[in-house]
Amino acid sequence: MEIDEAEAIKVLLVDDHEMVRIGLAAVLGTEDGIEVVGEAGSGEEGIRLAQEYTPDVVLMDLVMDGMDGIETTRQLLKLYPDCKVIVLTSYLDDEKMYPVIEAGAFSYLLKTSRASEVADAIRAAARGQSVLESQVASKMMNRFRSNARGEAPAYKELTEREMEVLKLLAQGKSNQDIADQLIIGIKTVKFHVTNVLAKLGVEDRTQAAIYAYKNGLAE
């Protein structure tokens, strides 16, 4: 559904940082054709205010206490499928970006975006046009190319021992726990953990665990 350009675009802000909401509201309040109708400090409040104001566009943070931006987006679009959710976040990691896009987010911007870029994204959403921050678009294209080429998933590069270590990481095991269970030394465990992180292209144990669950490698 496209919005009549003669009418102001109703925008709801959902972010658990009050200063972010204040700043956005102040900046967007100076933009022609854009009206901030409400500010929510949590996903739950965002759902409630959306029912009250029926916004055209929602600026959605991803990481919030309680209901995160992914679940809020999912529930919001079940109630109002025509609403356009624009993610505005500091995060560019796969475990947040792809799920919220799959949940129905219309556009994805980083909080480093200029105010004019956020306003332009809101106007574009009102016209039915998606906007992706350049780094987001690049990551999505790389993922698409990898899928199109039929490249083997990263975990296929793991040795049998590294796969065992990954599964134990996913269970929340410490290096000492892994060493005891596999009957190997701590230094060897650290060596395997380093290799696992490098081969999977993740930064830490938590991301490795998330990768394992997403790819069905963990019990």
Domain that holds residue 112: 9-144
Please give the pLDDT value at position 157: 85
Q: Is residue 1 part of a domain?
A: no
* CA 13-94-142 angle, 5° bins: 115
Kindly tell me if the per-residue pLDDT of 145 is higher than 80.
no
Kindly tell me if the per-residue pLDDT of 1 is higher than 50.
no
Same structural domain, 61 and 39: yes
Q: Is residue 219 part of a domain?
A: no
Judged by average pLDDT, the poorest of 66-80, 93-107, 160-174 is 93-107
Same structural domain, 120 and 30: yes
Kindly tell me if the per-residue pLDDT of 130 is higher than 60.
yes
CATH number for the domain that contains residue 75: 3.40.50.2300
Q: Tell me, what amino acid is at 57? A: V
Same structural domain, 56 and 132: yes
Q: Give how many domains the chain has, as a whole number.
A: 2
Same structural domain, 136 and 181: no
Same structural domain, 18 and 121: yes
Same structural domain, 34 and 132: yes
Q: Is residue 99 part of a domain?
A: yes
For residue 33, give every residue at least 6 positions away whose Cβ sits within 8 Å of its Cβ, in sequence order, or none.
5, 8, 9, 123
Give 217's pLDDT tier (boundaries 50, 70, 90): confident
Q: Of 154, 162, 153, nearest to 182 (Cα)?
A: 162
Give 17's pLDDT tier (boundaries 50, 70, 90): very high
Mean pLDDT of the chain: 88
- Identify the three-state secondary structure at position 152: coil
d(CA 103, CA 100): 5
Kindly tell me if the per-residue pLDDT of 219 is higher than 90.
no
Same structural domain, 21 and 93: yes
CATH number for the domain that contains residue 185: 1.10.10.10
- Cα within 13 Å of Cα(187), Cβ side: 0
Does this model's pTM top 0.75? My answer is no
Same structural domain, 110 and 194: no
Same structural domain, 23 and 115: yes
Last residue of a domain, one of 115, 144, 173: 144
For residue 195, give every residue at least 6 positions away whose Cβ sits within 8 Å of its Cβ, in sequence order, or none.
158, 162
Q: Of 67, 165, 171, 43, nearest to 58 (Cα)?
A: 43
Please give the pLDDT value at position 211: 86
Q: Is residue 4 part of a domain?
A: no
Last residue of a domain, one of 144, 175, 193: 144
Same structural domain, 20 and 90: yes
Q: Is residue 3 part of a domain?
A: no
